[in-house]
Amino acid sequence: MISGVLPYVFLLTMGIFLLPVAVHQQVPGQVQEELERQGMTIEEARQRARQLGIDLSNPQQATQRARELGIPESRIQQMLDAYQSASPEQRQSQQDMFFRDDTTVWEDTTALADTTAMAQDTTKDTTRRAVDSLPYFGYNLFKKVPDAFKPTATGPVDDGYLVGPQDELRLVVWGSAEFQYDLPVDKEGRIYIPNVGQFTVAGKQLSTLREEIRQWLSRSYAGLTANPPTAYMDLTVTRLRPIKVYVLGEVKQPGGYTISSNSTVFNVLYSVGGPLRQGSLRQISVIRDGKVAATVDMYGYLLNGYEPSDLRLQNNDRVFVPPRGKTVAVRGQVKRPAYYEMLADETFKDLVDYAGGLTAEAYAGRFHVTRIIPLAERENPSVAREVLDFSLTKVLSGEKDVSLADGDHVSIFSILKSYQNRVFVSGAVYQPGQYELSDSVRTIRQLILRADSVRPDAYLEKADLIRVNRDSTERQISLNLNLAFEDHPRHNLPLLPDDSLRVYSRTDLDTIRQVAISGQVRNPGVFTLRDSMTVYDLLFRGEGLLDEEYLKTVYLPRADLFRQTPDGRREIVVPFNLEEALNGDGLAEERLQPHDEIRVYPRKVEERVSEKFVNISGSVKNPGQYRLQENMTLEDLIFRAGGFTEDSYLEQVEISRLLEPEAQDAQSRAKTLTIQLLPEVMRDSTISFGIDDTTLALSNARTFSMHHRDRVYVRRDPNFKPQKVVTVSGEVQYPGDYTLREENELLSQVLRRAGGLRTTAYPKGGRLVRKGQNVITRIDRALEGEERADVILQPGDEVIIPPQPNTVSVQGNVANPGLIKFEEGRRLWFYLDRAGGVGDRVEHVYITQASGATFEVDPRWYWLDPNPKVDDGAIIRVTEAPEREREPFNLGQTLTDISQIISTTLTILVLASRL
């Protein structure tokens, strides 16, 4: 299920990441609704992303992972474009808002509430609020306790280990004498070696003790010290004694702990869950016999992998974690932005080292520090922050030193995305791309030669140079490459950074110069217009018209040439005799123009074509071609077409009419007539386009006579706005259709116009259906004034308010599926129990709440999870997994699983009692 929901998780989390940070840093409504539909919180979405290897703070890695998950490339690019378009400050603020350490959830919630309360303060510091959600470096190390960091209860130990009571030693002798003994250390710190005697070992280092026992045993076994020796000995620790230490201060679980005597401060901090976020990581004290034996800096482990001050603990040691010391935040172009704890003598350079160093995009000119003014120096108690700017280059070089104060926020800026020395060339060259603007590439001609010159199909008469102005606008410069190659100063221009040269190919131009043939030909289609191409050439390309058998299916007396007027605004029809053209006569040698189209008709329409006809199109009920009757008027044609539609423009219509043959020429074979259907006085006043206007328009159309091949165009009224209707049904006072009175009318407004809800209504289960799909929202919250739930309605929407169901439906793999009486506040396990419990082989448990939001509950843990509560009218579905081949029963594994479940249950109960 995790893998199935992951694309949604990625999109949701990236959506929060890329959206601008609002004043209150609230989650956008559509994202929150999707989270509710998936049954997840923001923290759960972040956790799901981390579990499957998505680093949302790294756009490149997140993008690659998104592609692996099958997220559409268009959506990925859309989010990356939004991310790139944001300023560095906005981008970091968005990261800070979302990619915070999970250990800060509860405190961040409090901070967010405080921030919301301060939103009306016009002097608010948005930079501070953005930084407040940065992670605190090092604390997430203690979330999980790897086994590798737990102290072992057995050896081996190093030679510096101090032996004491309750340890167990193993003595092995081989050679001229051979024996092995496991020797426990008694309360007095002694061991007993059979046949030899007792020896005091407590308080001695293992290496020293090993040599002393060898000398002592040599009294009985001389071969141990002979030269050369004839007997050999080894002494090791096989079991370590437990010791008790006390962990105090700012830790999650302070108290006394019994641990292995081989433990260090690092081990014991893991055992107790680590310091709290307000606890120090850098000044952890080990108190022994009333004195500080060592001060441990955990940054040594975190940054270098070792800490020389970490010593082995002894019985009754106190490990004390003081409050966190001076804390400084760094954000922007560093590899690890976070809060860092700084020691008193550490400077800006140390902070940069802790943050992993600068990124390659760091701006060297300046960085700034937001600082809280010390209490004694504040002139205005309410305004106590200042911004200090420093040169990053001077500070890193040691020319200037910057000390840091508690609460400082350091921002490292980014360089611009522009380049100092690049130019582009694209199109019909052998090597398009970007090139270095250098001594060898300074002009248009040099750039083209650097790109291995133009291709044979290059169109040299025109090229375009796009140049970026100082105000970031662009201008286009037209060039002639023939003149540029001749070093003409007007065309072989000097290049500037970010210039982009486009070299066109003749193929590019041919895509504009096209002609077409359609109808009764074997090869209809679009063809490139070649020089001197004629009507006969295009007929030949259509194929079939030179085949006598195929010609029997073609209407030879007539074909049409459709041609655009020179201004491109109208299309004229040039009829010609197809048979004459195929014989090389008539229109055969007419040269074609771009966008010309020849239409050849089939023989079966011969009778219809030979009849006289007129055409009408546009805003009439039945547009099409109609037979021209004797004395037919424009009014007659409009009636034949079913009359005007509601959106017709009644003021005038246009008619395209063929010119008489003697009036035709190469440029014009038809004329356009504008017929005024409403008188001049009405056009100067307000036209209602009602019944009276329609009657008057038809009356004026009665005076205009139609001619053969007239084409009538009835335009749509540009000011016409159809009524936009939504449907409200169910438990409302006045169900029915409602017209949207204004743009962006809300769901709650329409429901109030419907008289509001009846007493039997169940608004929480209300549905909004749009184009057959449910829009997941909470209608009850919309009626209560929650803006996020109040959806803007669209034409055709259907709002359904059901009655109070008072039941919950339990379906699928349960003992007794059916409807169960709803009880307020009950949770999932209650209804599953009422249905007789789940069956064997449960695969998934889904719950669809009254709002339509559906999410999955893990079937293994639903009885432990206090969530979710079940709404009235909810549907619970339990699916059954396919039967699989049973694995052999493993008693040991079963006992281990039971032990883990019991341990997890106890942990949850303990945590619940502490909340």
830: pLDDT confidence band, cut at 50, 70 and 90?
confident
Averaged over 424-452, what is the pLDDT? 92
Residue 863 has pLDDT above 70, yes or no: no
For residue 177, give Cα distances in angstroms to 169, 172, 217, 236.
Answer: 19, 10, 11, 19
Residue 21 has pLDDT above 50, yes or no: no
- DSSP E strands in 677-772: the ranges are 711-714, 725-730, 736-739, 767-770
- Please enumerate in sequence order all residues whose Cβ is within 8 A of that of 48, keeping only pairs 6 or more positions apart, or say none: 2, 5, 6, 9, 40
616: pLDDT confidence band, cut at 50, 70 and 90?
very high
pLDDT for 892 equals: 56
Q: Nearest-CA neighbor of 155 among 167, 173, 172?
A: 167
Q: DSSP 3-state assignment of 318?
A: strand
Q: Residues 426, 430, 431, 434: what is their CA dihedral angle, to the nearest 10 degrees?
A: -30
pLDDT for 114 equals: 35
Q: Nearest-CA neighbor of 431 among 501, 508, 507?
A: 501
For residue 339, give Cα distances in angstroms to 301, 331, 613.
Answer: 17, 9, 83
pLDDT for 131 equals: 39
Residue 408 has pLDDT above 70, yes or no: yes
Give the global pTM: 0.41
Higher pLDDT, 234 or 892: 234
- C-beta atoms surrounding 305 within 10 Å: 7
Angle at which helices 2-18 and 88-98 cross, to 10°: 140
pLDDT for 900 equals: 57
pLDDT for 85 equals: 53
Assigned token pair, 709 = 């091949």
Q: How far apart are CA 329 and CA 338, in angstroms?
A: 6
Averaged over 137-164, what is the pLDDT? 68
- C-beta atoms surrounding 412 within 10 Å: 24
For residue 108, give Cα distances in angstroms to 93, 99, 111, 130.
Answer: 15, 12, 5, 11
689: pLDDT confidence band, cut at 50, 70 and 90?
very low
Averaged over 420-449, what is the pLDDT? 91
Q: Residues 779, 782, 786, 790: what is their CA dihedral angle, to the nearest 10 degrees?
A: 100
* Cβ-contact 677, 652 below 8 angstroms: yes
pLDDT for 125 equals: 43
Averaged over 600-620, what is the pLDDT? 76
Cβ-count burial 325-350 (b if 16+ within 10 Å, e if not): ebbbbbbbbbeebbbbbbeeebebeb
Residue 59 has pLDDT above 60, yes or no: yes
pLDDT for 340 equals: 94
Look up residue 224 and give its DSSP letter. G
765: pLDDT confidence band, cut at 50, 70 and 90?
confident
**pLDDT tens readout for residues 269-278:** 887 888 988 9
788: pLDDT confidence band, cut at 50, 70 and 90?
confident
pLDDT for 1 equals: 39
CA quadruple 490, 491, 492, 494: dihedral sign: positive
Averaged over 729-743, what is the pLDDT? 86
Q: How far apart are CA 768 and CA 778, in angstroms?
A: 9
Averaged over 248-267, what is the pLDDT? 83
* Cβ-contact 318, 373 below 8 angstroms: no
Residue 907 has pLDDT above 80, yes or no: no
Q: How far apart are CA 39 and CA 43, in angstroms?
A: 12
Q: Nearest-CA neighbor of 233 among 218, 252, 250?
A: 218
546: pLDDT confidence band, cut at 50, 70 and 90?
confident
Higher pLDDT, 343 or 66: 343
* Cβ-contact 233, 213 below 8 angstroms: yes
pLDDT for 598 equals: 94
Q: DSSP 3-state assignment of 635?
A: helix
Higher pLDDT, 669 or 530: 530
**pLDDT tens readout for residues 198-238:** 999 988 888 899 999 999 998 888 888 888 989 999 998 88
DSSP one-letter string for 773-798: EEE---HHHHHTT-GGG-PBP-TT-E
Chain-centre distance for alpha carbon 362: 25
444: pLDDT confidence band, cut at 50, 70 and 90?
very high
Residue 2 has pLDDT above 50, yes or no: no
Residue 458 has pLDDT above 70, yes or no: yes
For residue 160, give Cα distances in angstroms to 167, 215, 266, 324, 744.
Answer: 15, 19, 18, 33, 78
pLDDT for 882 equals: 79
Residue 617 has pLDDT above 80, yes or no: yes
Averaged over 11-34, what is the pLDDT? 47
pLDDT for 872 equals: 87
* Cβ-contact 80, 63 below 8 angstroms: yes
Give the number of C-alpha atoms closer than 13 A to the C-alpha of residue 101, restricted to the C-beta side.
Answer: 21
Segments in 329-380 forming alpha helices (H): 348-354
- C-beta atoms surrounding 265 within 10 Å: 26
CA geometry: angle at 734 spanning 851 and 761, to 5°?
35
Q: What percent of the chain has pLDDT over 90?
A: 22
Averaged over 700-717, what is the pLDDT? 88
Segments in 69-222 forming alpha helices (H): 73-85, 88-98, 105-117, 126-131, 206-217
Q: DSSP 3-state assignment of 637?
A: helix
pLDDT for 118 equals: 35
Give the number of C-alpha atoms closer than 13 A to the C-alpha of residue 539, restricted to the C-beta side.
Answer: 28
The helix or strand, by DSSP H or E, that contains position 264, with its residue range, turns out to be none
Q: How far apart are CA 823 and CA 692, in angstroms?
A: 63
Residue 621 has pLDDT above 70, yes or no: yes
Range of 74-78, 266-270, 437-441 with top mean pLDDT: 437-441
Give the number of C-alpha atoms closer than 13 A to the C-alpha of residue 67, restricted to the C-beta side.
Answer: 9
Q: How far apart are CA 796 and CA 725, in angstroms?
A: 6
pLDDT for 535 equals: 94
- Please enumerate in sequence order all residues whose Cβ is within 8 A of that of 245, keeping only pairs 6 or more positions apart, or say none: 256, 257, 259, 263, 268, 313, 315, 316, 317, 318, 319
Extract long-range pairs of 667-670: CB within 8 Å, 24+ residues apart: 667/565, 667/566, 668/565, 668/572, 669/572, 669/573, 669/574, 670/572, 670/573
Strands 711-714 and 773-775: unpaired
* Cβ-contact 368, 355 below 8 angstroms: no
Q: How far apart are CA 524 and CA 543, in angstroms?
A: 8
**pLDDT tens readout for residues 80-102:** 655 555 544 444 444 444 333 33
pLDDT for 865 equals: 54
3-class SS letters over 552-602: CCEEEEEEEEEEECCCCCCEEEEEECHHHHHCCCCCCCCECCCCCEEEEEE
Q: How far apart are CA 113 and CA 131, in angstroms?
A: 16
Q: Nearest-CA neighbor of 406 among 322, 323, 327?
A: 327
For residue 282, give Cα distances in angstroms to 181, 263, 390.
Answer: 45, 19, 27
- Please enumerate in sequence order all residues whose Cβ is within 8 A of that of 880, keeping only pairs 6 or more positions apart, or say none: 812, 813, 839, 840, 841, 842, 843
Residue 420 has pLDDT above 70, yes or no: yes
The helix or strand, by DSSP H or E, that contains position 174, with its residue range, turns out to be strand 168-175
Residue tagged 């709650």 (tokens): 748
Cβ-count burial 360-369 (b if 16+ within 10 Å, e if not): eebbeeebbb
**pLDDT tens readout for residues 495-540:** 998 899 999 887 776 656 789 999 999 999 999 888 789 999 999 9
pLDDT for 5 equals: 43
Chain-centre distance for alpha carbon 83: 10
Assigned token pair, 349 = 């350079």
pLDDT for 54 equals: 63
Q: How far apart are CA 125 and CA 123, in angstroms?
A: 7
pLDDT for 667 equals: 63
Q: How far apart are CA 810 and CA 826, in angstroms?
A: 14
pLDDT for 491 equals: 92
Range of 58-67, 450-459, 865-874 with top mean pLDDT: 450-459
DSSP one-letter string for 25-68: -PPPHHHHHHHHHHT--HHHHHHHHHHTT--TT-HHHHHHHHHH
Averaged over 64-85, what is the pLDDT? 57
pLDDT for 860 equals: 60
Q: How far apart are CA 862 and CA 668, in angstroms?
A: 81
* Cβ-contact 20, 90 below 8 angstroms: yes
Average pLDDT, the chain: 78
Q: How far apart are CA 79 and CA 760, in angstroms?
A: 45
pLDDT for 96 equals: 43
**pLDDT tens readout for residues 571-599:** 788 889 999 999 999 999 999 988 899 99
pLDDT for 57 equals: 60
